[in-house]
Amino acid sequence: MNFLKEKDLNKQIKSKSIKELDELSQSMREFLIENVSKTGGHLASNLGIVELTIALHSIFDTTKDKIIWDVGHQSYPHKILTNRADKFSTLRQYKGLSGFPKTTESIHDHFDVGHSSTSISAALGMAKARDLNGEKNYIIAVIGDGSIGNGLAFEAMNNVGKTKMIIILNDNEMSISKNVGSLSKTLTKYSAKTNFINRKLTIKKILYKIPILGRIFKRLKDAFKEMIEYNSFFTELGFKYVGPIDGHDIKELKNTINDVKDYNGPILIHVITKKGKGYKFAEEKPYLYHGVSKFDPTVEITEQKKDYSSVFGSKLTNIAKKNKKIVAISAAMTDGTGLTSFKEKYPTRYFDVGIAESHALTFAAGLAKAGYKPFIVLYSTFLQRAYDELVHDICMQNLNVTIGIDRAGLVGADGPTHHGVFDLSYLTHIPNLTIIAPSSFEQLEKALDFANTFTSPLAIRYPRGVDGDYKNDETLKLGKSKIVKKGEDLCIIGVGKMLNTALEVNNLLKDKYDIEIIDAIFVKPLDKNTILKSIKKAKKVCIIEDNQMIGGFGSLILNLISENNLEIKTKIFAYDDIFIEHGDTKLLEEKLKMDAKSIAKTINKWM
Amino acid sequence: MNFLKEKDLNKQIKSKSIKELDELSQSMREFLIENVSKTGGHLASNLGIVELTIALHSIFDTTKDKIIWDVGHQSYPHKILTNRADKFSTLRQYKGLSGFPKTTESIHDHFDVGHSSTSISAALGMAKARDLNGEKNYIIAVIGDGSIGNGLAFEAMNNVGKTKMIIILNDNEMSISKNVGSLSKTLTKYSAKTNFINRKLTIKKILYKIPILGRIFKRLKDAFKEMIEYNSFFTELGFKYVGPIDGHDIKELKNTINDVKDYNGPILIHVITKKGKGYKFAEEKPYLYHGVSKFDPTVEITEQKKDYSSVFGSKLTNIAKKNKKIVAISAAMTDGTGLTSFKEKYPTRYFDVGIAESHALTFAAGLAKAGYKPFIVLYSTFLQRAYDELVHDICMQNLNVTIGIDRAGLVGADGPTHHGVFDLSYLTHIPNLTIIAPSSFEQLEKALDFANTFTSPLAIRYPRGVDGDYKNDETLKLGKSKIVKKGEDLCIIGVGKMLNTALEVNNLLKDKYDIEIIDAIFVKPLDKNTILKSIKKAKKVCIIEDNQMIGGFGSLILNLISENNLEIKTKIFAYDDIFIEHGDTKLLEEKLKMDAKSIAKTINKWM
C-alpha cells in the first residue's frame, strides 16, 4: 500500500483504467482499516465512500473544482488521494491530521466542517461567486441521506434556483443510526423502482441487440426514467434528478457523472453506497464502526463501556418506568446518547427525529404543552442548532422539558467543531432555564431524579467519557450547591467534572492554603447564600469550569459579586476565547493550562 | 360591528349560513381596518385570513381541537371570534392584547409564537401526545407559504410519518416581501395546473349532464387530480395533498375541510389567499401593510422614514458602488432591513434567501470563502436561528462576513418573541467575532466604512427606530472606544443607543458628580486601555446596555476587572433575566428601571 503515499494520486488516477482504480479502492480500504484501527477515527463512512471519491477525483481537479464534503467525517479517502496518506499515523492527534476537511491543511479542501448539512449552502455560495466572476469551475456538494433531511440542507436546496451545481447524494440509508424520516423512505422508493426497471431491462438485454427492438426498449426505458424523475422530491425543488446509481461501481459512477456534469443548472446524482463496505464487522454493525477508538481489526468491537451517556440512558429508562409521561427524543443519536435501552423498552415513547435538532426542541415543546415530559438528549455542540427553539419555544413558555447535554466540555479528537465549550455561555442568559452540571455519575442520576419532579425547562450538561474520583449521591435541591471541604484562605468552585480538578488542586496546595471547595451542582439558579458566605469569608474565589471564559459560570459569580457590592479577588479558570484544536483531552488541558498542576501553579502565584 | 363583541362567536358561527358568514367576514374586515389603524399592528396578513379563520372555527371546537397559528401575526380574526374583540383597543399596548397567540390570554390559544415555522413541529408534538393518550381531537397547523420554506418546518414535515394531523397551507405568495424559493414556484405550478383543469371542466359542464360522458369526464378529472397529487412535493413527504382551494370562499373551504378532516394520516390543504384582501391599499402594497403604526385608513401609507435600517441600507448601497465584492443577503426582509435600494441597484449582488436565516449565514460563508464580502442583515431575534452557523461556519473559519443586526434591544409592541435583548449574550463568547454597537446614525455609517476594509467576522448591532441626540461621525478604529466627557468620580460606559441614556443620566447628576462618559463603540474587542485607565481613576464604573444582564457587555467589563486583579465598584444597568412583555419601548424602559431617571436615582443611592 506504499504507493498510496506517492505524490498527487489525485492526478495519477485520471489516466488509470477501471481495473486499476478497482485495485486502488481495495488498497485504500485496507489502508483505512489498518490505520484507523491504530489511531481511532471515523471508519464506516469512509469505507463506504472509497469508490465515489476515486470517481470524483478521476473527473474533477480539486485545485479549482470544489468538492464540499458534508459533515466531513467521510473525507479520509479524499485525504489519501490528496497527499496526506503519510500523515494518517497522526490522525486526530494533537497537531496531527484532522479528522475533517481543513482548508489550512490542503489546497484540495475548500470548506471547514464537522456539523452536518452545511455543504449545499456553502456550495451554493461558491457557485454564486463563480457565476458573478464569470468562471467555469465545478462545485460539488457530497451529502448523506441523513444530512439532507436537515432543515439547513432543505433551505439551501430551496434557494438553489437555476444555479449550476452538483449535489451527490450519498445514500447509505444511515445517519449514525439507521436513518428515519419520510424523505429517507422516498429515497428507498426511488431505488426500488429503478432496480425494478433495471432488472426488467437486463432480462431483455439480448433483445436489445435487434436494432428496432433496441430503440423501442431504449425509448421505454427513457420514458420510465422520465417518470421517475418527474416524481422526485428533488425535481419539485428544481433539480435535475439522476439515479440511483451503484456507488461501488467506479465505471458507472464515472460514466454517469461525466455524462451530466455539464448540465446547466442544479443536478442531484443519487448514489447508493454501503456504510462499512468491504469490512465485514462494519457492514454488519455500521453504528459500532461510525466513530471508533483504537481496535483490533480481527475481532468485532464490543458494545460501549459505562460512561456519562450510558448512565443517563439507564437512569432515564429507569425513571420512565413509573413516570408514564416521560418521552425521550434524540436527533439521529440513539446509541451515542445512551438511549438504546429506552428505545427498546418504550418504543412508542421514543422519538428519533433524525438530524433535526431544531425540530427536536419545538416538537418537545408541543409534547410538553400537551402534558408530556420530554427528555431531549443532544451533544452540546449540536444543541447550538436549536438555540432559538430553546429560547422561543421552550423557555419563553416555561415548559416542562429537560435537555440532556452530552459531550459538554472538551471532546478530544473531534476537535474545534465538536468541543462543547460554549453551552454555558449560550444557556445562562436564557430566562426560565435551570442548569445542572453534575460532577459524577451518581450526581447525574440524582439530577435525573430531580428532573423527574421538576416542571420547568431544565438543562443537564455532562462531559464525554468516564467518571472522576469524586462521588456524591446526595439528593439535589433546586439551586443548592455543596461545600465539599471547608477552608478559610480561598474558595474554589468547581463546575461539573471540573470539581475533580478542584480537588486535585487542593491536594497540590493543601500544605500552603486552607481551601474551601464547593461543588456548584446548579449553574442556574446560583446558590447565592452558600457561595456568598464562602467568598465573604475567604475574600478570594477561584472558579474552574470546562467552558469558554466569556459568559460562563465565572461570569455569573462576577455578577453576583457586583450585585452585592463586594470586594473580592476573583480568578476564573476557563477556556480561552479561541477555537480549540483537536487532540487528546488531557493533553489539551495541559496546553491550555487547565490541568490541576497548571491551575495550582497559577493560584500559588496569584495568592 | 358591535355584534363582534358578543360572547362565543366561535360557537355561534357553527349554525350560521354561508351568507351570514360572508357578512361576518365583511364586518371583521372593517373592524380590523378600523382598529389596527388606531393601534398599529399586523394588517395585511389578517385581512387575508378572515374567511379561512371563520371556516376553521365553524368546523372545529378550539377548546379541544388545537389550531396552531404559525408566526401568529395572522391571529387577529381568531382573537375576534374567541371573545377578544372588546380588547382590540389595547392591542400590542402595555398590559393589553398581545399581537400574537398567547396561551395565558385564552383557552383557545394553544401555543405561544412570534417566530416563523414552528407550527408543524409543535402540532406534531401535540398530535403524538394525543395518540399516546388515545384521544381523538384535531390538530391543525396553519402556516404560510413563506414559513413552510424554512428548515424547521421541513424537518417537522419530514418527521410526521403517518401521524394524523392537518396542515393548512395559507398560500399568498408572500413572506413579508414577495416570496422566493423553489418550493414557492412549485406551489404556483400546482395552482396553475388545477386552474387549467377547472377551466376546461367548466366549459364542458353542459356535457356532464349526459350520464356516460359525465362519468368519463369525472374519471378524466380524477386521473388529472391523481397526477397532480402524485407530483406534489408534499406527497413525497408522505402527506395527502388537497387543493388548491380558494381561501376567500367560505363554502368551498368548509366543504373541503369537512370532507378531508378525518383522513387517518397527515394531510395538507393548500389554500390560496390574498394578503391585504378587501382593503385596496393593502392588496396593492401588502409589504407596506404587513406591520403598521397608526395610520389614516383613507390614504395610502407613505414609505418609511429615516431610521437605523434605512441608514444601514443607504450606506451599504453607497460603499458597494466602489467595492464590487460586496454582496447583500436578507432573509425575506428586504424592506424591513432597508435593503430595497441595494436590491434595485445591484440585483445580481443581492440575495433574498427567504425565511432561512441558517442558510443565509452558511451561504454567506461560501461566498466569503470564494472571495466575496457578504453583508447579511437580520433582526436580532431572528439571528438566534443561525447561532450555530455563525459559530461553526463563519467564525471558526474566521471569514470575511459582516452581519447587520437590526432591531437590537427592545422593539416595543411585538413583545417577548421579538425583543433583541439576547444578542450580546449569544455573541460575545464566539471566538474571532468583532462586535460594534453604534450609538448614532453617523456612527452606524462609520461602522459600515470600517466593515468595508475589515476582513474578519463582524457584527454591527443597532436598534429599531430613530436616532438619539448624541452625534459622532469619527472614523472607527478596531477596538477603540471614545471618551465623550471627562470626569473623576464615576465612569459610565454606554453601549450603542444607551449612550444617549448615559448622557441623560449625566445631565441629571452633573451637579453632584463629575462623571466620565465612554461611548463603548466596540463591544468586542474591548478597548482595554481606555476603559482600564478610566475605571482605575474613578474606582467606580457603571455600564448601561440594552441587553440582558447575563453575558452582556457588563460581563466583559467584570471579566476585565477580574483579569487585572482590580478592586472597582461596579454597577450594571441591563435587562433583567426575564422575558420582557410587549408595550411602548419608553414605557417598558421605565417599568424596567432602565430610563435615565431611574438609573440616575439608583446611581445616586449607590454612590
Q: Any CB–CB contact under 8 A between B375 and chain A? A: no
Residue-level pLDDT at B190:
67
Closest-approach residue (CA) in chain B for A229? B231
Q: Any CB–CB contact under 8 A between B274 and chain A? A: no
Size of interface A-B (CB pairs under 8 A): 360
Read off the pLDDT band of A288 (50, 70, 90): confident
Q: Taking CB atoms and an 8 Å cutoff, what residues of chain B touch A330?
A: none
Report, as an integer, the average pLDDT of A415-439: 98
Check CB contact under 8 Å for A128 and B238: no
Q: Report percent pLDDT > 90 for chain B.
A: 83
Residue-level pLDDT at B196:
39
Residue-level pLDDT at A572:
98
Grid cell 402524485 — which residue? B230
Report, as an integer, the average pLDDT of A62-75: 98
A29 vs chain B: nearest CA distance in angstroms?
30
Residue-level pLDDT at B227:
47
| Closest in A159, A327, A362 to B359, CB measured | A159
The conformational region for residue B354 under phi > 0 = left, psi -120 to 50 = alpha, else beta, is left
Residue-level pLDDT at B236:
86
Residue-level pLDDT at B220:
55
E strands along A76-219, which residues?
139-144, 165-171
Residue-level pLDDT at A318:
98
Residue-level pLDDT at B198:
45
Residue range(s) occupied by CATH 3.40.50.970 in chain A: 2-292, 308-463
Instruction: Provide the chain B residues 467-486 that lie in CB contact (below 8 A) with chain A.
Output: none
Q: Any CB–CB contact under 8 A between A94 and chain B? A: no
Residue-level pLDDT at A243:
85
Residue-level pLDDT at B186:
74
Residue-level pLDDT at A185:
73
Residue range(s) occupied by CATH 3.40.50.920 in chain B: 483-606
Which residues of A are the active-site residues?
Answer: 275, 357, 385
Read off the pLDDT band of B204 (50, 70, 90): very low
Q: What average pLDDT does chain B have?
A: 92
Residue-level pLDDT at A215:
60
Check CB contact under 8 Å for A363 and B569: no
A97-124 residues labelled b (16+ CB within 10 A) or e (exposed): bbbbbbeebbebbbbbbbbbbbbbbbbb
Give just the sign of the alpha carbon dihedral B230, B232, B236, B241.
negative
Q: In a mutagenesis test of the B interface, which of A115, A187, A426, A524 is the best target, namely the one with the most B β-carbons within 10 Å?
A: A426
Report, as an integer, the average pLDDT of A84-110: 97
A312 vs chain B: nearest CA distance in angstroms?
23
Say which CATH architecture domain B483-606 belongs to: 3-Layer(aba) Sandwich (3.40)
**ipTM confidence:** 0.94
Report, as an integer, the average pLDDT of A434-441: 98
Task: Tell me the C-alpha distance between B466 and B308, whole Å.
Answer: 6
Report, as an integer, the average pLDDT of A228-254: 85
Instruction: Provide the chain A residues 23-62 that lie in CB contact (below 8 A) with chain B.
Output: none
Residue-level pLDDT at A202:
42
Residue-level pLDDT at A3:
80
Q: Any CB–CB contact under 8 A between B585 and chain A? A: no
Task: Tell me the C-alpha distance between B197 and B178, whole Å.
Answer: 26
Instruction: Provide the chain A residues 243-272 that lie in CB contact (below 8 A) with chain B.
Output: none
Report, as an integer, the average pLDDT of B174-182: 67
Residue-level pLDDT at A167:
98
| Closest in B369, B425, B548 to A126, CB measured | B369
B395 vs chain A: nearest CA distance in angstroms?
9
Checking DSSP bridges between strand A434-436 and strand A522-524, what pairing results, if any? antiparallel
Q: For residue B406, what is its C-alpha cell?
A: 437590526
| Closest in B122, B397, B577 to A362, CB measured | B122
Q: What's the pTM value of the predicted model, to 2 decimals?
A: 0.94
Which residues of B are the active-site residues?
Answer: 275, 357, 385
Instruction: Give residue-wise pLDDT tens across range B566-594.
Output: 999 999 999 999 999 999 999 999 999 99
Identify whether the C-beta of residue A367 lies closer than 8 Å to the C-beta of residue A342: no
Instruction: Provide the chain B residues 407-426 that lie in CB contact (below 8 A) with chain A.
Output: 416-417, 422, 425-426
Of residues B227 and A426, the one with the higher pLDDT is: A426
Instruction: Give residue-wise pLDDT tens across range A30-51.
Output: 999 999 999 999 999 999 999 9
Task: Tell me the C-alpha distance between A68 and B351, whole Å.
Answer: 21
Check CB contact under 8 Å for B388 and A385: yes
A158-172 residues labelled b (16+ CB within 10 A) or e (exposed): bbbeebbbbbbbbbb
Instruction: Tell me which long-range contacts A526-531 makes (C-beta under 8 A, separation of at least 24).
Output: A526/A479, A526/A556, A526/A557, A526/A560, A527/A479, A527/A480, A527/A481, A528/A560, A530/A480, A530/A481, A530/A483, A531/A481, A531/A491, A531/A493, A531/A557, A531/A560
Residue-level pLDDT at A497:
97
Instruction: Give residue-wise pLDDT tens across range A139-169.
Output: 999 999 999 999 999 999 999 999 999 999 9
Instruction: Give residue-wise pLDDT tens across range B45-93.
Output: 999 999 999 999 999 999 999 999 999 999 999 999 999 999 999 999 9
Q: Taking CB atoms and an 8 Å cutoff, what residues of chain B touch A556?
A: 550
For the segment(s) B308-463, the CATH number from 3.50.50.60, 3.40.50.970, 3.40.50.300, 3.40.50.620 is 3.40.50.970
Task: Tell me the C-alpha distance between B592 and A548, whole Å.
Answer: 30
Which CATH superfamily is A2-292 part of? Thiamin diphosphate (ThDP)-binding fold, Pyr/PP domains (3.40.50.970)
Q: Taking CB atoms and an 8 Å cutoff, what residues of chain B touch A579?
A: 395-396, 431-432
- Which DSSP string do the residues of A20-43 spell out, in sequence order? HHHHHHHHHHHHHHHHHHHH-EE-
pLDDT higher than 90, residue A327:
yes
Q: Report percent pLDDT > 90 for chain A.
A: 83
pLDDT higher than 60, residue A250:
yes
Q: Taking CB atoms and an 8 Å cutoff, what residues of chain A touch B231?
A: 230-231, 236
Residue-level pLDDT at A174:
66
**Among the listed residues A4, A27, A127, the one whose alpha carbon sits nearest the alpha carbon of residue A67:** A127
**Among the listed residues A119, A122, A177, A186, the one whose alpha carbon sits nearest the alpha carbon of residue A148:** A119
Check CB contact under 8 Å for B550 and A556: yes
Instruction: Give residue-wise pLDDT tens across range A191-232.
Output: 655 543 443 444 344 444 555 655 655 555 555 454 444 557
